[in-house]
């Protein structure tokens, strides 16, 4: 991954997070964090 691609990807993620916070009160970020924690627990179980 080049620096340019990484900057565009980081910008898109920050823009999506800002739009979610502005329009949905951060519900999507909270739901995504819950799903990631659920996935981590599931992976830790199979470890």
Cβ-contact 34, 22 below 8 angstroms: no
| pTM score | 0.66
What is the per-residue pLDDT for 12? 96
What is the per-residue pLDDT for 45? 81
As a dihedral over the C-alpha atoms of residue 39, residue 12, residue 7, residue 2, rounded to 10 degrees, the angle is 70
Instruction: Tell me the per-residue pLDDT of 3-47, one tens digit each, with 9 for 90 and over.
Output: 999 999 999 999 999 999 999 998 999 999 999 999 999 998 877
What is the per-residue pLDDT for 47? 73
């Amino acid at each position: 991954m080049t620096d340019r691609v990484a900057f565009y990807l980081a910008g898109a993620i920050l823009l999506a997070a800002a739009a979610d916070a502005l329009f949905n009160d951060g519900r999507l970020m909270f739901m995504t964090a819950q799903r990631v924690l659920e996935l981590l627990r599931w992976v830790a179980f199979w470890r």
